[in-house]
Amino acid sequence: MTDPVGTGREGWPTASELAEHIRAGKVGSREIVEGYLARIEKIDPALNAFCHVTPDEARQAADAADAQVRQGGTLPPFHGVPIAIKDLHPVRGWPLCSASNGVGHEVMKSDALAVRALREAGFVFVGATTSPEFGTVSVTESDRHGATRNPWDLAYSPGGSSGGSAAAVAAGLVPVGHASDGAGSIREPASYCGLVGMKPSRGLVPADAHYMEGFATEGVLTRTVLDTAAILDVFAAAPRPTWYAPPRPETPFQERALRDPGRLRIGLNLQPAFHVEVDPAARDTLRRAADMIADLGHEVVEQDIPGLDPDWFAPRFDIFYSTGSADCAVVDESAVEPLNRTLRQAARETDSLTYVTTILELQLRSAEMYKAWDSVDVLLTPTNPVLAPRVGSLWEGQETDPWVPLRRALQTASLTALGNMLGLPAISVPLVPQPGALPLGVQLIGGRWQDGTVLALAGQLERAYPWRHRTPAGLPL
């Protein structure tokens, strides 16, 4: 392989392909890592996708990976493959910034559990990717790290909060990026950057605690369903020492992604959790996606979600979401950005009885909403009801109303947040091409513990309507 990270007819190599080449001795991990480090040095100044790059550590890990290949024996599934880690999650030996000037930036003594699973799967960590402060909003912009830009058009955001990982993968700076999702933060940037992004079922990915009442989970951003499924197998096999966890899959997710799902009943839905005016492009994307799915033989029907009422949901979401920075060690409250200072103050003013009552109400209403999947296998929506925002636009007007950025962010998340509340598996795929425009994904939401069904349908769509050859045209890639 003369250029192990260069584009070919099908686009850049996937993590699974690189792992296969390393195991077969066709290319060394060090050569691959050097190729990605060179791309980061060349391209990232225009994107600002990385806030921390670790070239020496990555080279040492790659050399150790190559030595293991020469020694022979069993290798982990992604041995020697580069990955970037989102800077909201601890990595051993790295400072944790959480994109904030108000935290202590302490060097972490251990990996987060999901990060540890990725390390033990053989991945080589090349650096940390940007997020908004505490991952609060749907753009990747912060006072600490500045704005991260979408490689499809630098005037626009890649979304958030996993926008750094999304921009890096979309620009070919890494084959896969670690990410996390509390209201859509994997799926939204996947949608805006033309990637695959999955929020797995609640508890499937190992976590140190059930962050945000189990709304939040970690995952990855990739260019293919197969990579996403293979890495979900890594997460699902890892120890999960938490209060509750879903059943372990009987069939590997990678195998499910390669297997056609059979004829499914697909529920067409455009019912937001927050008040938002759905852009015509999102409506058109949903219609086109429905036609493509129907052409594969699936039954497509209209399906409402019982009990979903924005006027009921929004105020309760505010109560629990305002606690989202509770795990961040703030040492200087005055250095925290205005929105997060406002949210933290709102959390302090919420008494414990109100908080617990809110969580109970959300759980009870969820029981009603689950009934939507009694009559369909998968719910189909646009991932985002609105188009990618221009860089900086989310913050306009916050001087007079610090809640404005969150209100705009929740409009972006109005079709994804429900999956977090219900703990359901949901994936964004770049199924429908958007000629001359930024990407816009479609979302598949499965029933409880139906990650395999979601991946099987997504894999079938990927084979029927391939997308991995699409790459941004706005950069010298």
The pLDDT confidence band at residue 448, using thresholds 50, 70 and 90, is very high
* pLDDT at 409 exceeding the cut of 80: yes
Closest CA relative to residue 86, chosen from 181, 201, 196: 181
Half-sphere exposure of 390 (CA within 13 A, CB side): 4
Q: Are strands 50-53 and 82-86 parallel, antiparallel or unpaired?
A: unpaired
Answer left, alpha or beta for residue 73, where phi above 0 means left and psi between -120 and 50 means alpha: left
pLDDT at 240: 85
pLDDT at 134: 97
Half-sphere exposure of 264 (CA within 13 A, CB side): 30
Which phi and psi angles does 419 have, rounded to 5°? -60, -35
Mapped onto helix, strand or coil, the DSSP state of residue 237 is helix
DSSP secondary-structure letter at 91? -
Distance of CA 21 to the CA centre of its chain: 26
| Mean pLDDT of all residues in 431-439 | 92
pLDDT at 246: 82
Angle at 442 between CA 436 and CA 447, to 5 degrees: 175
Q: With 0-12 CB in 10 A as exposed, 13-18 as middle and 19+ as buried, what is 376?
A: buried
Q: What domains are defined for the chain?
A: 15-464 (3.90.1300.10)
Would you say how long the chain is, in residues? 477
pLDDT at 433: 95
Catalytic residues: 86, 161, 185
Q: Are strands 378-382 and 442-446 parallel, antiparallel or unpaired?
A: antiparallel
Amino acid letter, 150: N
Contact 248, 233 (CB under 8 A): no
pLDDT at 161: 98
Q: Annotate 329-349 with DSSP letters as a single string.
A: -BS-GGGS-HHHHHHHHHHHT
Q: Are strands 124-129 and 146-147 parallel, antiparallel or unpaired?
A: unpaired
* pLDDT at 215 exceeding the cut of 90: yes
Q: Are strands 426-429 and 196-199 parallel, antiparallel or unpaired?
A: antiparallel
Token representation of residue 354: 């109100």
Closest CA relative to residue 275, chosen from 241, 317, 325, 331: 317
Q: What is the pLDDT of residues 64-111, one digit of tens each?
A: 999 999 999 999 999 999 999 999 999 999 999 999 999 998 999 999
Q: What is the pLDDT of residues 294-342, one digit of tens each?
A: 999 999 999 999 999 999 999 999 999 999 999 898 999 999 999 999 9
DSSP bridge partners of 445:
379, 426
The pLDDT confidence band at residue 2, using thresholds 50, 70 and 90, is low
Query: What percentage of the chain exceeds 90 in pLDDT?
Result: 92
pLDDT at 404: 97
Token representation of residue 390: 């221009």
Closest CA relative to residue 319, chosen from 280, 283, 346: 346
Q: For residue 281, what is the enclosing H or E element?
A: helix 280-295
Contact 85, 169 (CB under 8 A): no
Long-range interactions of 295-298: CB distance < 8 A, separation 24+: 296/460, 296/461, 296/464, 297/263, 298/263, 298/264, 298/265, 298/266, 298/457
pLDDT at 474: 64
Q: What is the pLDDT of residues 456-473, one digit of tens each?
A: 999 999 999 999 999 997
Average per-residue pLDDT for the chain: 96
